[in-house]
Structure 1
Amino acid sequence: MALAAAPAAADEGGVSFWLPGIFGSLAAAPQQPGFSLTSIYYHTTVTAGGSVARAREINAGRLPVTIAGNVEASLTGKADLAIVIPSYTFATPVLGGQATIGLMTVSGRNTTSIDALLNASVLAGPFAASGSRFFNLSETDTGVGDLYPQFFLRWNAGVNNYMTYLTGDIPVGSYDPNSIANLGLGHGAIDGGFGYTYFNPATGREFSAVAGLTYNFKNPDTQYRNGVDFHVDWGASQFVTKQFQIGLVGYLYQQLSCDSGSGDRVGCFESRIMSVGAQVGYIVPMGEIQGYLNLKAYKEFESENRPEGWNVWLTLALSPAAAPPPAATPKRHLALK
């Protein structure tokens, strides 16, 4: 058992503050002033694996004894989350742009399991013995996650749209430092970045990208600090009609600096993950409210020190409908005398 080890994963427990894929198409496009509500069902399935081999020689009287062991371990994680983001967009410009404030909440179920196979052998002179044993650890956390306040500023210049944002983590969610399955992070974080959207209503073509950096604070329970993380979310789509949209999505996540703190026992493991997927979207007119339904699916690859898998997003966004254009004023014909 002293040889057993879980698969090494950068970012504490292999979980980062930033949830890759949270941004997508039309990220920097202007919003309608007033209250909006975004609801997301998120499912992810990831796996990771690793092995470690160690050997040690001791002296048992006059007979040298060699103890060797190898541990092969695999991790599987599944999560079903409900993400709800109420927000408010101000009609009065701020710094020449459009300001939006919001609060993201997370609840759901997270299940993580680790399977490990221990192979050990003992060599004492001409005598040898070997054996193996299988171990399993599985835990589930069901509850509420942390709170994520958000602030956005957006600017529009024709088909070009620009955005800057600031968000962070308030660690109030379900968290146990001795558990391998948590909905909360156990530490605070702050994240900021910039976004761009090209959208031409005449052609229906759209491209969006949002890049940001995450600074993590130390986990007070484990004395572990995640490194600085860089992330890019992007989406490209074509509106086949004024309401129906199809396209591609993807993300890149790269840890830029090492994890640290007295609780870091794995060293400088910097994580990376990439993903590409597909999306469909549909704008639903609902009178004074406009609905937007979007389905995204991602397949991850090129993982390093981080679990890899796939995830699905089903989003319903409700916002005030755009005001109709003013009716044309009939021309009055004057009779000339």
Structure 2
Amino acid sequence: MWGKSQNAGLTNCWGCGIVSLYGNVSEFSVIHSIDWTVKKPAMPATIHDVAKLAGVGIGTVSSVLNNSRPVSEETRRKVLEAIEKLDFVPNPSGRRLSMGKTHTIAVIITYFTLASQFERLRGVMSVIAESDYDINLFAIETIPQRNKVFQTVPRRGRVDGLLIFSIHPTKEDLRRIRQQKIPVVLVEGYHPELSHIFLDDMAGARQAVEHLIGLGHQKIAYISDYLDDLFSSGFNRNRYMGYCQALEAAGLPVRPEYHRQGWHTRENGRQMALELLNLPDPPTAIFCFSDEFALGVLEAARDMNLRVPEDLSVVGYDDIELARFAQLTTVRQHLFESGVQGVELLFEAIENPDAPIKEIQLPTELVVRQTTAPPCR
């Protein structure tokens, strides 16, 4: 089943894991009735028809359309008159290919349904909407999907560049990319030989836990995605390290029973919080790998009739839109901006393939709202 929406420009093959987005999408009309009369459709004019009517070769028509080489004014006039008479509309894909570019970029992104990833993609689309580029989006959630995409997508003639979110390319991935000579930019990923945009997740996590320690909390738990998740690009482990560093610097123990790991859903956040809050010595504060987890923790607190922040302090990570509605204290990473800068950096690489590798670090910021306070016990 396929669907398309105007402006957003999103086309999705449900269940196949591949989504295509286009910079400019025309609105389609809904058919309310069916005309059963069989009519022979009018065939649109082709470049061959234009060449025949103008009495020139196909290459000459292409030169007029693309301004790729000088053509006499008389010949240009004949071609333009033929185009107008035949109501000829050039095929944009063919025209782009004839100019050596597809004007399409591939975006490879993990866990597309997460609010944080969708916000990054919104940043990408804000730039694409103002350009003449389209994008093919490849949303991957499994290792076989990842391998298939990296084996088939990086091919010159199919896309002009790759924008990769939250994945560290392997040596084999890099070999394929180099072989095809396709510009690549990583966002929340790293490779010393590729331009990339990153955040200091360790410092962001450390700042969140230091905030809780400063309020007087000593029993601080951490809820995270699986630390060995192959799609985490290391930021999962970095946030855990930041959590541990803050505790150790304050002379507090890192208690294994205060760490819970699970798949990245709000319901899992709720379940892991219930486990923590039912411990014989429960934590007074919970720091979460993401706002999604933190929202689940807030639900668990309500289930147990605990007041936030009086009985339990909660800190998230990302600052998604729902975090603002929930008045959640969180670590803000500039998700939208990372998408914007990622695609802008890729455009630079497409226009200048020999440009030096760039490394851009985006800041994190602790946003204190209404889910943290000094412990009451």
Q: TM-score, normalised by structure 2?
A: 0.21
More RCO (CA 8 Å, sep 6+): 1
* More helix by percentage: 2
* More strand by percentage: 1
